[in-house]
Amino acid sequence: MTIVWVMAAVLLTAAAVITMFRLLAGPSTLDRLVALDTLVAVTMCAIGTWAAFSLDTTATYGLTALALISFVGSVSVARFRVPDSDRSRSTRRLR
């Protein structure tokens, strides 16, 4: 059973490290927002895996808090951020 937890930890760590590349390099704010959302979801996966591994339910409250706070954060960034290029001022699409 230990090999399963080790494999899950390796996979999740790789996922977090890969996602951080997009978080740092993303060309627009929305890309960073998407990457941050993915990172939070990976963190929630890791907390769930930790709770399943250790049979310790202390962190499950943090799971629920993370789910709600990441939602509020993503929606408020999408609502209140400053658009990052002049192109975005045109409200209608031109082809």
Partner 1 sequence: MSALDIFTAVLVLCGSTLALTAAIGVVRFPDTLARMHAATKPQVLGLLLVLAGAAIRLRGNVDVGMVILTGLFTVITAPVVGNRVGQLAYREQNIRDDLLTKDEMHEFAEKRESGGNGQN
DSSP state of 88: G
Say if CB 60 and CB 12 are below 8 A apart: no
Residue 79 interacts with partner 1 (CB under 8 A): yes or no? yes
What is the size of the binding site for partner 1 (CB under 8 A)?
A: 52
Query: What's the CA gap between 27 and 21, in Å, rounded?
Result: 11
Q: Tell me how far apart the alpha carbons of residues 93 and 95 are, in angstroms, rounded to a whole number.
A: 7
In the complex, the smallest distance separating the C-beta of residue 73 from partner 1, rounded to whole angstroms, is 10
Cα 67 from Cα 72, distance rounded (Å):
9
Judged by CB under 8 A, does residue 85 bind partner 1? yes
- Residues binding partner 1 (CB under 8 A): 1, 4-5, 7-8, 11-12, 14-16, 18-19, 21-22, 28, 30-31, 33-35, 37-38, 41-42, 44-45, 48-49, 51-52, 55, 57, 60-61, 63-64, 67-68, 70-71, 74-75, 78-79, 83, 85, 87-88, 91-93, 95
